[in-house]
């Protein structure tokens, strides 16, 4: 857990354990502890945190975004940030709980029938891997299309 906390603290002016409102919000949505292992331990508290080329949202923005766009959570993704081009960064809460994915905004916005899983790519096994690898902007994908290229397709 220490490398996760150390790398997260490099990105944000304030990190800390999640507040009770956020934990209650997660529980009311039936999101598993496996999916929120890291975010449930320590998270961004005040404003978006830049980790390499991605931005991670604070608790309040995660809750607002999920309540405004419930289709992502229904599809099994908790959006926690964004790439520089607007692609969403999300934690998988259904398929591979806790894994981190980039979701293509260009293919998903404006098409409510589009399957989010079809237009997403896994970029990290969990948040700890994400906050370590994302600092290396020369080898870590910058967005969903770049992640597809790096994965061979």
Q: DSSP labels for 1-48?
A: -HHHHHHHHHH-S-EESPPHHHHHHHHHTT--TTTTTTTTT-EE-SS-
Give residue 153's pLDDT. 60
Where residue 46 falls among pLDDT bands split at 50, 70, 90? Answer: confident
pTM (two decimals) = 0.93
Phi-psi region of 86 (alpha: psi -120 to 50; beta: other; left: phi over 0): left
- Eight-state DSSP code of residue 104: -
What's the rounded Cα separation, in Å, for the pair 147 and 126? 16
What's the rounded Cα separation, in Å, for the pair 127 and 37? 9
pLDDT digits (tens, 9 = 90+) for 52-110: 999 999 999 999 999 999 999 999 999 999 999 999 999 999 999 999 999 999 888 88
């Amino acid at each position: 857990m220490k490398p996760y906390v150390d790398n997260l603290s490099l990105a944000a002016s304030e990190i800390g354990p999640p507040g009770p409102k956020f934990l209650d919000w997660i529980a009311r949505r039936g999101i598993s502890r496996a999916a929120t292992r890291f975010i449930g331990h320590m998270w961004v508290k005040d404003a978006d945190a830049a980790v390499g080329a991605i931005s991670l949202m604070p608790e309040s923005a995660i809750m607002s975004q999920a309540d405004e766009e419930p289709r992502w959570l229904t599809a099994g993704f908790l959006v926690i940030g964004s790439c520089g081009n607007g692609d969403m960064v999300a934690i998988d809460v259904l398929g591979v709980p806790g894994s981190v994915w980039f979701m293509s905004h260009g293919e998903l916005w404006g098409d409510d029938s589009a399957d989010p899983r079809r237009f997403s790519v896994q970029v990290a096994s969990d948040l700890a891997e994400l906050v370590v690898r994302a600092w290396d902007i020369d080898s870590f994908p910058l967005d969903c299309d770049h992640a597809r290229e790096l994965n061979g397709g």
